[in-house]
């Protein structure tokens, strides 16, 4: 029953990504932790046509069971598997190709502390990984490096990754990172960005750790 609920939630979140403008068509992908493995969106299926039964179940060795004939997991399944394996606190991973985040990533730019909300990703910056070919182990390794002590990163010449304890948190962070990317893009048009100090960002991070942006604690995100 839990997996069925998660499958429906994955489909709804994938469609929500497109509706929010942080993804398009069938690009991007989602992975969610389950006992013994993960659930991953299928490769090449438009989100509007995707059904809960299309979501692919995988184990941590990278093997999958095809419950609907012909469906394979997203080509980026390694990123999801490797993040969930390396980070026990992460329960869901969202990968998307948002316009502004991807534009910055195509220039190899991360997002520095130009705004205090950068702290939503867990640090004083949102890093951009080195470029590696999509779907490869090399890309997964670079993503893990960029995500060290972070819940989000940009992927050079590719897109964005956002992580959370569950899908709601991962999507919330993805939306905020794209908002920050859009704001930073405009800041760059004005000249050299003015950044907050590490001291100030440490204060902000302490507030986030204490529950800033949540109803009563980190488990109750209010958006």
- Contact at 8 Å (CB) between 127 and 146? yes
pLDDT (tens digit per residue) in 182-193: 999 999 999 999
- pLDDT at residue 217 in the model: 37
Task: Please state, in angstroms and rounded to a whole number, the distance separating the CA atoms of residues 161 and 108.
Answer: 15
- In order of their start, the domains of the chain are 2-209 (3.40.225.10)
Provide the pairing of β-strand 92-96 with 64-65: unpaired
Coil, helix or strand at residue 93: strand
Residues 6+ apart with CB under 8 A from 215: 221, 222
Helix ranges (DSSP H) in the chain? 2-19, 77-86, 99-106, 137-146, 167-189, 198-209
Q: What confidence tens digit (pLDDT) does each residue in 151-209 have?
A: 999 999 999 999 999 999 999 999 999 999 999 999 999 999 999 999 999 999 999 99
Q: Is the pLDDT of residue 214 over 90?
A: no
Residues annotated as catalytic (active site), given as ranges = 76
Q: What is the pLDDT of residues 52-82, one digit of tens each?
A: 999 999 999 888 876 555 588 999 999 999 9
């Amino acid at each position: 029953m839990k997996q069925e609920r998660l499958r429906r939630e994955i489909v709804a979140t994938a469609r929500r990504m497109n509706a929010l403008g942080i993804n398009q068509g069938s690009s991007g992908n989602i992975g969610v932790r389950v006992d013994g493995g993960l659930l991953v969106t299928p490769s090449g299926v438009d989100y509007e046509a995707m059904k809960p039964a299309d979501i692919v179940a995988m184990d941590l060795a990278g093997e999958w069971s095809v419950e609907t004939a012909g469906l394979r997991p997203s080509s980026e399944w390694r990123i999801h598997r490797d993040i969930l394996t390396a980070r026990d606190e992460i329960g869901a991973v969202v990968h998307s190709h948002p316009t502004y985040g991807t534009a910055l990533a195509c220039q190899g730019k991360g997002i520095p502390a130009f705004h205090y909300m950068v702290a939503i990703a867990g640090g004083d910056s949102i890093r951009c990984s080195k470029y590696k070919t999509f779907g490869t182990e090399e890309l997964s390794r670079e993503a893990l490096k960029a995500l060290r002590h972070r819940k989000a990163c940009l992927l050079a010449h590719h897109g964005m990754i956002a992580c959370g304890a569950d899908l709601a948190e991962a999507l919330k962070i993805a939306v905020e990172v794209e908002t920050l990317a859009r704001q930073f893009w405009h800041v760059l048009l004005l000249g050299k960005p003015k950044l907050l100090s590490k001291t100030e960002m440490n204060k902000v991070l302490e507030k986030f750790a204490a529950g800033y942006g949540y109803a009563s604690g980190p488990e109750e995100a209010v958006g």
